Amino acid sequence: MLLHEYVDGRDADLSPGSPDVPLVLDTLVVLNEALTPCPGGFPEVAVNIAGLQAKAASLLTGELPDRAMYETALATFSLDALKGNTLLHYDLHSGNFRIDDGRSYVIDWAFAVRGAAWVDAVMLAPRLIEAGHTPERTEALLARVPAWRSAPADAVTGLAALWTLFRLYKARFGPEEGRDFRARAAEAGRAWVRYRSA
Give the pLDDT confidence score for residue 3 in this predicted structure.
75
Element housing 143 (H / E): none
* Positions of the chain with pLDDT lower than 50, given as ranges: none
Which whole-number Å values give the CA distances from 75 to 56, 70, 95, 148, in the listed order?
A: 13, 9, 32, 21
Give the pLDDT confidence score for residue 61 in this predicted structure.
93
Domain limits of the chain? Answer: 10-197
Pick the CATH number of 10-197 from 3.50.50.60, 3.20.20.70, 3.40.50.280, 3.90.1200.10: 3.90.1200.10
Backbone phi and psi for residue 113, each to the nearest 5 degrees, phi listed first: -145, 175
Q: Where are the beta strands (DSSP E) in 34-116?
A: 86-88, 97-100, 103-106, 113-115
- In sequence order, the β-bridge partners of residue 86 are 115
Q: What are the pLDDT digits (tens) for 91-107?
A: 999 999 999 999 999 99
Q: Per-residue DSSP letters for 56-69?
A: HHHHHTS--TTHHH
Q: Are strands 10-11 and 97-100 parallel, antiparallel or unpaired?
A: antiparallel
Task: Give this prediction's pTM.
Answer: 0.95
Q: What are the pLDDT digits (tens) for 52-61?
A: 999 999 999 9
